[in-house]
Amino acid sequence: MAVLAFDGVQLLDVAGPAEVFTTANEDGADYDVRIVSETGGDIRTSSGVRLSADTAAAELPGRLGTLVVPGRPDWRRAVGDRPLMDLVTTLSARASRTASVCAGAFLLAEAGILDGRRAATHWRLAAELAARYPRVRVEADPVFVQDGAVLTSAGVTTGIDLALALVEADHGADLARAVAQQLVVFMARPAGQSQFSARMTPRRSGHPTLRGVMDAIAADPAEAHHMDALALQAGVSTRHLSRLFRTEVGMTPGRYVELVRVEAAQALLTSGDDSVDAVAERSGFGSAESMRRSFQHLLGVAPTVYRARFRSTAEQGSGG
């Protein structure tokens, strides 16, 4: 298990996955986790913290189980570092699987490892990744994506989710859950879960009319929120409101309503004991089947599975 480290790397991109794997070892796993730099010397992270490497790249065994490639905020500097890129290419070819965290996807893309593959990165960087590397099928929303033996995660802390998923694949859900409990994090979020909140989206739009409509939707997901009513509330035509949503937020009004309702349902499923039918009604879906379709489409799991998976660590840790 080689976690690559280099100057300017994001500290948590390195420390998060490494902590997951070493914690798994305390519960019976057998990962040989090594922080690797090109020369084996110390590196300085983007936060200024110095990080000691365990070994130089040349001292690694010929075959690697997993290579984890973290990112750095200034990804252009990283992909322009030829010795670093040569190292990524060489080590990935020797690894059974390769994973990236956050902007580490740019290094994999530059090396050609993501050509023709689905990939995730931090949502703020998704458009840049897609523009620079058109052969990569960038998915802006998921927490992480697996395409064959290559895994890419979204922003920073999602490296923990990716590492937990690898632990679960290697050693089963019980061990992965034990690691999540020890680290006081959710049992691995499903790969398809959105990496940012729908209720955060209004902050990305400065249009006062649109902000008012979006705030009203977020405040009462169970309301009908038909286009005619939303447009009347905003004092604009339905066509103009739809254009505002597409221009300012990058989605249709219906898509935004669905995201808010899914998020409301997520909160109800994990914080209460209402039946799935009741949660569907309270969050505006109308029926459990409609909610199930939205969950499957946006999160990749059914509401019942989501509830069981996300409540497990909270319930087992509530006795303290």
Split at pLDDT 50, 70, 90, the class of 249 is confident
Split at pLDDT 50, 70, 90, the class of 228 is very high
- The token duo for 215 is 């705030």
Q: Are residues 49 and 170 in the same domain?
A: yes
Per the structure, how many domains does the chain have? 2
| Residue 267 forms part of a structural domain | yes
In angstroms, the CA 318 to CA 90 distance is 46
Q: Are residues 12 and 157 in the same domain?
A: yes
**What is the pLDDT, as a whole number, of residue 202?**
43
For 77, residues 6+ apart whose C-beta sits below 8 A from its C-beta are 8
Domain boundary among 156, 183, 210: 183
118 with 144: CB under 8 angstroms? no
Range of the domain at 162: 2-183
* pTM listed for this prediction: 0.68
Q: Are residues 147 and 206 in the same domain?
A: no
In angstroms, the CA 279 to CA 271 distance is 11
What confidence tens digit (pLDDT) does each residue in 46-91 have?
A: 999 999 999 999 999 999 999 999 999 999 999 999 999 999 999 9
pLDDT, mean of residues 29-46 = 97
Domain boundary among 158, 183, 208: 183
| Residue 145 forms part of a structural domain | yes
**Does residue 300 have a pLDDT over 80?**
no
CA neighbor of 282 nearest in space, from 300, 269, 296, 299: 269
Residue 257 belongs to domain with CATH number:
1.10.10.60
Q: Are residues 227 and 252 in the same domain?
A: yes
Split at pLDDT 50, 70, 90, the class of 173 is confident
Report strand pairing: 64-69 vs 95-100. parallel
Q: Are residues 7 and 111 in the same domain?
A: yes
Split at pLDDT 50, 70, 90, the class of 184 is confident
Q: Are residues 124 and 42 in the same domain?
A: yes
| Residue 188 forms part of a structural domain | no
**Does residue 15 have a pLDDT over 70?**
yes
Percent of the chain with pLDDT over 90: 68
**Does residue 313 have a pLDDT over 50?**
no
pLDDT, mean of residues 98-119 = 97
Q: Are residues 136 and 277 in the same domain?
A: no
Q: Are residues 131 and 204 in the same domain?
A: no
| Residue 189 forms part of a structural domain | no
CA neighbor of 122 nearest in space, from 98, 138, 99, 146: 138
